[in-house]
Structure 1
């Protein structure tokens, strides 16, 4: 079974660690997250992101929001490592850099 295109992601918690993930799902989640996250602190609680992004995701990639939570965390950590997202501490809230 052939795999589709992939994209390399980083992890702010583990500098230097890189993994390849499905490019279509990554890009869909990235676009949805950047559409809903504010551009200034204090930002949005991580738990508040999922109900806002699920309606924006392609049903073919995320049927019923399946696995959206995992992809939110994957994209969050990658975009934080790349400086696209920032976080406010306690409770963790995300916003665009």
Structure 2
């Protein structure tokens, strides 16, 4: 049995924060610090994936490049143009209907 405190509902809200103005108010040293914290977080995430399986980091990087190269809406258009139905696309990516 799964403990319900670890399950998030699919309809949970997401708050988009606009941090651009706050970032530009930082000093040069603070911006550099933020950059290095970001890089450490990225590589730390890859280390966690490597502990899962040796191929996980490469798969994650591949997916990152894929989703950054093409917006999700265009990816869906491409998928439907090659014969994948909308239902198959949503099931594959686990997109709530």
TM-score band, normalised by shorter chain: under 0.3
Could you state the TM-score of these two structures normalised by the residue count of structure 2?
Answer: 0.22
Kindly name which structure, 1 or 2, has the bigger radius of gyration based on alpha carbons.
2
- Which of 1 and 2 has higher RCO (CA within 8 Å, sep 6+)? 1
Greater share of helix: 2
Greater share of strand: 1
Could you state the TM-score of these two structures normalised by the residue count of structure 1?
Answer: 0.22
